[in-house]
């Protein structure tokens, strides 16, 4: 019994010595392997990307405070060429060893991101995927299939399986294709619903206003509009109001912007009956997951998908964040 106790005591002492040695070595190891994370995102061109910029800077603030020695560098770009140039600077000037990128466009950024990865930088792509996934180590996004499927199912049910629908697309990206494909796959099961047209409106309320004006001029009967973003839905509603059209029964936006969620909660516009979740906060989560994994020398799963769900008047209060910029 005494020999067993003595052996146990020796093991405890050895463990304590090992832990102390590791604790002394840890700061030196951290210094030698400093993590520098570059964050490349679009500038605040509309409400959603305004939220992206806000949450990216919040991640920088929180993570640099929580992890002394970690450096997070946030760059915003107004277009794909500018973002590609920023990637070069992040590698050559800032010496990043990890990149979190929300690509401005998919095709245009694929080669520049691949070149960053080829230099040994760990790459996490967020939301707008690349056209070649070998250019990334990890991908984090909302559920874009559900984002297109949920509105289509809701519209089909609301119209009783029969009616004319027009759609607004975002920017030419892989996620926009996923959403449109999902929307169309649902409509295939409802032959009584006709998709009259689907045009790009760049996730922008002014562009959506112009596209909707075109639709209203060309189509005398429109029963529902899928504006795949709440900013675009604002432009759509403005065009409908200006044209004084009474045939449209439903406008379905997306991403749960606080203004649209408030309208849904209040029931102040009968055209707004539902929404679908897709929070820009996932950029915060992506930066946090990437930085903390790289600090530990670990990798993220190849794909992380954040669920998108239907938001109704009854559930809207759970998705209303009045202090958020989006």
Same domain, 263 and 297: no
pLDDT for residue 222 is more than 70: yes
> What does each C-alpha distance from 157 to 151, 170, 198, 246, 319 come to in angstroms?
10, 24, 20, 20, 23
Which domain covers residue 187, as residue numbers?
144-276
Residue 112 resides in a domain: yes
Same domain, 296 and 200: no
pLDDT for residue 65 is more than 70: yes
Residue 272 resides in a domain: yes
Same domain, 155 and 121: no
pLDDT for residue 8 is more than 70: no
> What does each C-alpha distance from 190 to 155, 194, 195, 226, 279 come to in angstroms?
11, 9, 11, 16, 29
> CB under 8 Å to 49, separation ≥6 — which residues?
41, 42, 43, 203, 280
Cα 198 to the center of its chain, rounded Å: 22
Same domain, 208 and 177: yes
Same domain, 192 and 157: yes
pLDDT of residue 33: 61
pLDDT of residue 174: 84
Question: What mean pLDDT value characterizes the chain?
Answer: 89
Q: Quick one: pLDDT band at residue 128, thresholds 50, 70, 90?
A: confident
Q: What is the mean pLDDT of residues 299-323?
A: 92
Last residue of a domain, one of 235, 260, 276: 276
pLDDT of residue 48: 86
Q: Quick one: pLDDT band at residue 9, thresholds 50, 70, 90?
A: very low
Residue 119 resides in a domain: yes
Q: How far apart are CA 145 and CA 150, in angstroms?
A: 9
Same domain, 196 and 296: no
Pick from 108-112, 243-247, 317-321: least confident: 317-321
pLDDT of residue 236: 98
Closest-CA residue to 105 (of 83, 74, 87, 133): 83
- In the chain, the largest separation of any two C-alpha atoms, in whole Å, equals 94
Same domain, 36 and 119: yes
Closest-CA residue to 49 (of 89, 81, 83): 83
Token pair in block for residue 285? 């989560």
Same domain, 150 and 255: yes
pLDDT for residue 314 is more than 90: yes
Cα 3 to the center of its chain, rounded Å: 60
Residue 318 resides in a domain: no
> What does each C-alpha distance from 227 to 13, 85, 201 come to in angstroms?
66, 32, 9
Buried b (16+ CB within 10 A) or exposed e, 11-33: eeeeeeeeeeeeeeeeeeeeeee
Q: Quick one: pLDDT band at residue 73, thresholds 50, 70, 90?
A: very high
pLDDT for residue 61 is more than 50: yes
Q: How far apart are CA 159 and CA 169, in angstroms?
A: 21
Q: What is the mean pLDDT of residues 56-75?
A: 96
Same domain, 156 and 64: no
Same domain, 191 and 264: yes
What 8-state DSSP symbol labels residue 313? Answer: T
Question: What share of the chain in percent tops pLDDT 70?
Answer: 90
Residue 199 resides in a domain: yes
Last residue of a domain, one of 258, 276, 294: 276
Same domain, 96 and 181: no
Residue 312 resides in a domain: no
pLDDT for residue 28 is more than 60: no
CATH code of residue 66:
3.40.50.2300
Residue 191 resides in a domain: yes
Q: How far apart are CA 215 and CA 219, in angstroms?
A: 6
Q: How far apart are CA 297 and CA 32, in angstroms?
A: 13
Same domain, 148 and 265: yes
Closest-CA residue to 111 (of 176, 172, 101): 101
Number of domains in the chain: 3
Residue 316 resides in a domain: no
């Amino acid at each position: 019994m005494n020999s067993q106790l003595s052996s146990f005591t020796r093991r405890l002492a050895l463990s304590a010595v090992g832990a102390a040695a590791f604790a002394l070595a840890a700061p030196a190891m951290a210094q030698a392997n400093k993590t520098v994370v570059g964050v490349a995102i679009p500038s605040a061109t509309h409400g959603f990307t305004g939220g992206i910029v806000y949450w990216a800077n919040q991640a920088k603030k929180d993570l640099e405070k929580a992890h002394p020695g970690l450096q997070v560098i946030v760059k915003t770009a107004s277009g794909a060429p500018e973002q590609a140039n920023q990637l070069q600077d992040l590698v050559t000037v800032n010496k990043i060893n990890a990149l979190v990128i929300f690509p401005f466009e998919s095709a245009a950024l694929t080669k520049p991101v691949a070149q960053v990865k080829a230099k040994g930088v760990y790459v996490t792509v967020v939301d707008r995927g690349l056209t070649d996934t070998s250019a990334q180590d990890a991908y984090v996004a909302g559920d874009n299939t559900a984002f297109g499927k949920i509105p289509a199912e809701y519209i089909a049910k609301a119209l009783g399986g029969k009616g004319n629908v027009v759609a607004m697309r975002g920017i030419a990206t892989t996620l926009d294709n996923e959403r449109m494909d999902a929307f169309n796959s649902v409509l295939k099961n409802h032959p009584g619903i006709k998709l009259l047209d689907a045009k790009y409106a760049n996730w922008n309320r002014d562009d959506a206003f112009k596209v909707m004006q075109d639709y209203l001029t060309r189509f005398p009967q429109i029963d529902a509009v899928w504006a795949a973003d709440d900013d675009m839905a604002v432009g759509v509603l403005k065009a409908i109001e200006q044209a004084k059209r009474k045939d449209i029964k439903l406008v379905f936006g997306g991403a749960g912007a606080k203004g649209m969620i408030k309208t849904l909660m209040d029931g102040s516009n009968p055209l707004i009956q539902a929404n679908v979740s897709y929070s820009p906060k996932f950029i915060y989560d992506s930066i946090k997951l990437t930085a903390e994994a790289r600090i530990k020398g670990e990798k993220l799963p190849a794909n992380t998908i954040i669920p998108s769900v239907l938001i109704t008047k009854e559930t809207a209060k759970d998705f209303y964040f009045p202090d958020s910029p989006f």
